[in-house]
């Protein structure tokens, strides 16, 4: 949440910062601002609204400055107006600071500073930190030391970059709980809250650790902890290319990412399937293979879309590995004193690898002695580093705020884990081979759905009048119904509920009338007949039925108002296919209603606050 970028180097800074903000805008887009050093003084421009507003304020003015910091905000403390936009200053206006995270003790710090005669212009917690740095600067006359002392007073989370007109060749950055990546370029350094703002300059990066600071001068940098201990950092190489974070001809990132799924799904199992053995190889879990095999219970913790894929994971692992699984919202897990036994294994699932609730759940589980494994997309992210072992899903950067390709790749990870455990236990080689073969056919089946996207567009047009939607599914497709409803809510702002189809009669059926479209996943499997009964119940009350059905199912035509066919596959693989028309439905619905698909209101990618 919130995007941060700082630059020091050989080039003019304002276009670099602006481009960085554009790359980071998916992380927050309530307001944006920039501070640069101009004629020995800090020049700051900031504006409520999207980065485009800031761009018009800059008015193509390439200021003669080669150092600066910038921010795009997702508001936590204080409404998103010009005053609350970052950067913020100390009272001398010589120190400027951008911040991602929450200063939890900001109220007591503010009171203390007010009593000492300091004043505040905004409602933000960030300004309190800036003023505190300024307070220490009066004594120390050293930017790095002032930042360090201020951070020692703070509880909460931060990713910050600070500059001062008194030290025109220095940037100081630090993090606790909010990501910070430091890029080492050719006579230039760029620091940002994620690698997408860095990749245009360099692929060589250092991931800053919690409670670590980096002090950057024109040609050098060094790191230490905020407690003044020396640290050593490895240089990593960013694994993606610039083209992967561009729209590549698609009107929106979300659509691009939906269309990437045949490839991203293939990437998720590449090198992990041993077809001739009907077996699965998971290098990242090798060190905990015995713990997994002997585990008495698996707990999966995640948020949002990742929580939905985890529910599919629950069904898969229980079915194939015969291990009891519980899926927990990460935000609840931490606060309800969960029981974790000796042989339990905890999985944490996250696309960004930075979700604060999930990170907190991991810490809770570790404190209780559990082995915690990660299923993560973002390489080098906090969750990837906090967990004991795990697997990357290799979906590549996901920029669209609504998560799409991460879902199918996370489901893929669970399929692989379930079969891996199942083969250790009771799945035969021949069944293993059959499953592996079916998995390898999925990318082409995904593609055939995408080739037929026009049909979903038509359905979206037809139902764009509706204010409410119900999504129903059973078995493996119940979580898909939840995911379809979430997608619709997020980007089209239409109220939607996901339910297990049979649960409808226990309450939600009261909502059904001729104005209520009901999306039902009715693929041909062992519970097909039961789902048809649920469709009958909807039809009997005048509800309109949009069915996701299996190719060749003529019978469904007797029941549904609209049908979208998906290719046949094994029932445990259907979520991979059934979710795609639902992603497309929400996308086309949002476009039809003129919504901002990639930057839906109130949302931001990667929720790094609790
Ligand atoms: C939904 C969405 C969110 C995320 C949730 C978890 O489209 O994007 O619900 O799924 O915030 O994020 P990660 O997976 O990054 O932990």
> Cα of 571 to ligand 1 centre, how many Å?
25
- Atom 3 in ligand 1: which residue has the minimum CA distance? 304
- Whether residue 605 lies in the annotated active site: yes
CB 301 within 8 A of CB 363: no
CA separation for the pair 427, 317 (Å, rounded): 12
Selecting from 3.20.20.70, 3.40.50.620, 3.30.70.3450, 3.60.20.10, what CATH number does the domain 3-238 have? Answer: 3.60.20.10
pLDDT in tens, 408-430: 999 999 999 999 999 998 899 99
> Cα of 146 to ligand 1 centre, how many Å?
36
Question: What is the residue whose two structure tokens read 């669970």?
Answer: 414
CA separation for the pair 46, 69 (Å, rounded): 12
CB 483 within 8 A of CB 489: no
Pocket test for ligand 1, best of 309, 355, 398, 479 (most atoms within 8 A of CB): 355
CA atoms lying within 13 Å on the CB side of residue 55: 12
- In this structure, the dihedral spanned by the alpha carbons of residues 101, 107, 112 and 118, taken in order and rounded to 10 degrees, is 70
pTM higher than 0.85, yes or no?
yes
- Whether residue 2 lies in the annotated active site: yes
Q: How many of the other CB atoms lie within 10 Å of CB of 230?
A: 8
Burial of 235 (0-12, 13-18, 19+ CB in 10 A): exposed
> What token pair was written down for 55?
């761009």
Domain-by-domain residue ranges, the chain?
Answer: 3-238, 250-446, 452-602
Domain 250-446 class?
alpha beta
CA separation for the pair 152, 489 (Å, rounded): 41
- Atom 9 in ligand 1: which residue has the minimum CA distance? 304
CA separation for the pair 144, 133 (Å, rounded): 9
Query: Counting atoms of ligand 1 from 1, which one is nearest the CA of 303?
Result: 6
- Atom 4 in ligand 1: which residue has the minimum CA distance? 304
Pocket test for ligand 1, best of 305, 382, 493 (most atoms within 8 A of CB): 305
pLDDT reported for residue 411? 98
CA separation for the pair 223, 555 (Å, rounded): 66
> Cα of 232 to ligand 1 centre, how many Å?
32
- Atom 16 in ligand 1: which residue has the minimum CA distance? 350
Strand 221-225 versus strand 212-216 pairing type: antiparallel
Pocket test for ligand 1, best of 382, 607, 610 (most atoms within 8 A of CB): 607
Q: Which residues of the chain have a pLDDT value below 70?
A: none
Burial of 526 (0-12, 13-18, 19+ CB in 10 A): exposed
> Cα of 288 to ligand 1 centre, how many Å?
27
CB 179 within 8 A of CB 206: no
pLDDT reported for residue 357? 93
Residues framing ligand 1 (Cβ under 6 A): 303-306, 350-352, 355, 358, 402-403, 486, 490, 606-607
Superfamily of domain 452-602: Glucose-6-phosphate isomerase like protein; domain 1 (3.40.50.10490)
pLDDT reported for residue 546? 97
pLDDT in tens, 205-243: 999 999 999 999 988 999 999 999 999 999 999 988 888
Same fold across 3-238 and 250-446: no
3-state secondary structure (DSSP) of residue 575:
helix
pLDDT reported for residue 82? 86
């Amino acid at each position: 949440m919130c995007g941060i970028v700082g630059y020091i180097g050989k080039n003019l800074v304002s276009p670099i910062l602006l481009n960085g903000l554009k790359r980071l805008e998916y992380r927050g887009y309530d307001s944006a601002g920039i501070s640069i050093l101009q004629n020995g003084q800090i020049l700051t421009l900031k504006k409520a609204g999207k980065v485009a507003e800031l761009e018009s304020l800059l008015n193509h003015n390439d200021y003669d400055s080669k150092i600066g910091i910038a921010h795009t905000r997702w508001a936590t403390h204080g409404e998103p107006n010009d005053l609350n936009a970052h950067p913020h200053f100390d009272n001398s206006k010589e120190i400027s600071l951008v911040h991602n995270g929450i200063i939890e003790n900001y109220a007591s710090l503010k009171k203390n500073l007010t009593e000492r005669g300091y004043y505040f212009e905004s409602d933000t917690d960030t300004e309190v930190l800036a003023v505190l740095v300024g307070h220490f600067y009066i004594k120390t006359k050293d930017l790095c030391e002032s930042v360090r002392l201020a951070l020692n007073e703070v509880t909460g989370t931060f990713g910050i970059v600070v500059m001062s007109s008194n030290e025109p060749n220095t940037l100081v950055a630090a993090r606790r709980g909010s990501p910070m990546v430091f890029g080492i370029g050719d006579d230039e350094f760029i620091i940002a809250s994620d690698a997408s703002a860095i990749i245009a300059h360099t692929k060589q990066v250092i991931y800053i650790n919690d409670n670590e600071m980096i002090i950057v001068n024109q040609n050098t940098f060094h790191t230490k902890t905020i407690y003044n201990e020396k640290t050593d950092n490895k240089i990593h190489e960013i694994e993606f290319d610039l083209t992967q974070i561009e729209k590549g001809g698609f009107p929106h990132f979300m659509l691009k990412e939906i269309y990437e799924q045949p490839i991203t799904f293939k990437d998720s199992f590449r090198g992990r399937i041993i077809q001739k053995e009907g077996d699965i190889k998971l290098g990242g879990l090798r060190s905990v293979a015995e713990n997994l095999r002997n585990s008495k219970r698996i707990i999966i913790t995640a948020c949002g879309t990742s929580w939905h894929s985890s529910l599919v994971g629950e069904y898969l692992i229980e079915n194939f590995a015969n291990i009891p699984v519980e899926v927990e919202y990460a935000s609840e897990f931490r606060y309800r004193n969960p029981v974790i036994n000796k042989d339990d294994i905890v999985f944490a699932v996250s696309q960004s690898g930075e979700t604060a609730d999930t990170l907190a759940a991991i810490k809770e589980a570790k404190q209780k002695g559990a082995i915690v494994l990660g299923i993560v997309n973002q390489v080098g992210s906090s969750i990837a580093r906090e967990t004991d072992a795990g697997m990357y899903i290799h979906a590549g950067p996901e920029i669209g705020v609504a998560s799409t390709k991460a879902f199918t790749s996370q489901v893929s990870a669970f399929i692989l884990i379930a079969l891996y455990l199942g083969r250790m236990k009771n799945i035969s080689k021949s069944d293993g081979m059959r499953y592996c073969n079916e998995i390898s056919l999925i990318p082409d089946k995904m593609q055939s759905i995408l080739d037929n996207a026009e049909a979903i567009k038509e359905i979206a047009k037809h139902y764009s009048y509706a204010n409410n939607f119900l999504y129903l599914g059973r078995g493996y497709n119940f979580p898909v119904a939840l995911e379809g409803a979430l997608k619709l809510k997020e980007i089209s702002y239409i109220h939607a509920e996901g339910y297990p189809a049979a649960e409808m009669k226990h309450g939600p059926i009261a909502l059904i009338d001729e104005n209520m479209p009901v999306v039902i996943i009715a693929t041909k499997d062992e519970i097909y007949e039961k789902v048809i009964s649920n469709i009958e119940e909807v039809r009997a009350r005048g509800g309109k039925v949009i069915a996701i059905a299996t190719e060749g199912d003529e019978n469904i035509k007797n029941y549904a108002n609209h049908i979208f066919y998906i290719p046949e596959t094994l029932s445990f693989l259907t979520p991979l296919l059934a979710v795609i028309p639902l992603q497309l439905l929400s996308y086309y619905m949002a476009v039809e209603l003129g919504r901002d698909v990639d930057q839906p209101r109130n949302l931001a990618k990667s929720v790094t606050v609790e």
